[in-house]
Amino acid sequence: MWAVVKRKPTPNTPPLLAEFLKMVAGLGGHLGRKCDGAPGPQTMWIGLQRTVDFAIAWQTFGPDAAKKQFLS
């Protein structure tokens, strides 16, 4: 998710949970402005669904995908 949201290589140390939750909320549509408040459950759910979609796409088309052999 880091590579998709930040468009940077993954860091050596994992991000803090608060930063990860902000990324998930952003994928769910939360804008993160001062007056917005905390993201709600629906926003987090949509963000988690998109995170799973990105994970599947990364496994299928990511940097290591060329090494895998697909069965037909």
pLDDT band, very low/low/confident/very high, at 69 (cuts 50, 70, 90): low
pTM of the model: 0.79
Q: Evaluate if residue 71 carries a pLDDT over 70.
A: no
The Cβ of residue 48 has, within 10 Å, a number of other Cβ atoms equal to: 14
Q: Where are the alpha helices (DSSP H) in the chain?
A: 2-6, 17-27, 41-61
The Cβ of residue 50 has, within 10 Å, a number of other Cβ atoms equal to: 18
SS3 24: helix
Distance separating alpha carbons of residues 12 and 29, to the nearest angstrom: 28
Per-residue model confidence as pLDDT tens digits over 9-51? 888 999 899 999 999 999 999 999 999 999 999 999 999 999 9
pLDDT band, very low/low/confident/very high, at 1 (cuts 50, 70, 90): confident
Mean pLDDT over 50-63 rounds to 88
